[in-house]
Amino acid sequence: MKRQQHKKRRIIFSYSFLGTIILLLILAKVASGIEKDGLLENTTQSSKTKEVTKKQSSTENKVIISETLTTSSQTTESTTEEQKLEKAISLTFDDGPSPVTSPKILDTLKSENVTATFFLLGQNVSGSEQIVKQIKNEGHEIGSHSQSHPLLTSLDEASLKSEFSKSDTAIKNATGEKPRYVRPPYGAAKKREAEIINRPLIEWSVDSLDWQSKNKAAIIQQVVANTYPGSIILMHDIQPATAEALPDIIKQLKEQEYQFVSISELLDNPTDIAHYFGANDHKIVD
């Protein structure tokens, strides 16, 4: 009887031990699966983090490259503009418009893509309004050269005011705008005249002497030999020889890398009542 009970206990113990082993194995397997899942999740998260970091780095690099290219472009544009200003000059034409020679000069300026400034006489605007409109529509600047080209210092106050009132009216009727600048006939104006005119007085630094020589070759030589950066060049669009000389003048100055701009561009939109002879070259009227 005792033997049977002892045998029964051994069997129960064996099963209990085996069950414990099996349970431990199951727990170990479950633990291993959880660890693998955790490792997989960590690996996935790490991979995602690296991918996001890589994308962020790529985006940052693109932004840096973009900013660099933009800065480089802005620097190039700035440098080009500075170079342009360093070699800028202004062609100016007095005494027009002329129905014969002004259209020829405008054709040359258009074909060469050159901007100029025209100082018109009020008395010549009448009957040539279409030419005046063409000057404006083709991007050129218009100033007043008085009504009838008198010596301003010899006029009384009423006559002086009348000269520019009439000229301003004629030009405004043709263009819709009052001229911002005045070129005194003969370049002569003192404090009294300047205060009555009440606008910048545009003089010149290179005189073509076309009114004197009336010779194509002489005009070309005079202008090309004396032009320098910042020059204001004086010519007359009523002179046939000037119309003939202009294509060669432009060609030779372009070969020297000069840039042709209006008076406003050259002088940076001046407003002071002063004599202006060229870029960075003006003096107060006394």
- H-run or E-run covering 270: none
Q: Is the peptide bond before 184 cis (omega within 30 degrees of 0)?
A: no
Band of the pLDDT at 49, cuts 50, 70, 90? very low
Q: Convert the pLDDT of each residue in 190-237 to its tens digit.
A: 999 999 999 999 999 999 999 999 999 999 999 999 999 999 999 999
Rg (CA), the chain: 43
- Our answer to whether residue 272 is catalytic in this structure is no
Q: Exactly one of 145, 236, 275, 282 is catalytic; which is it?
A: 236
Q: Exactly one of 94, 168, 210, 237 is catalytic; which is it?
A: 94
Domain 87-284: homologous superfamily in CATH: Glycoside hydrolase/deacetylase (3.20.20.370)
Burial of 167 by CB count in 10 Å (0-12 exposed, 13-18 middle, 19+ buried)? buried
Measured in Å, how far apart are the chain's first and last C-alpha atoms? 146
Output the DSSP codes for 52-78. HHHHHHHHHHHHHHHHHHHHHHHHHHH
Q: What are residue 100's phi and psi, to 5 degrees?
A: -95, -55
Q: Convert the pLDDT of each residue in 88-97 to its tens digit.
A: 999 999 999 9
Domain ranges of the chain: 1-86, 87-284
Q: What is the mean pLDDT of the chain?
A: 83
- Our answer to whether residue 236 is catalytic in this structure is yes
- Sign, CA dihedral 57-61-62-64, equals positive
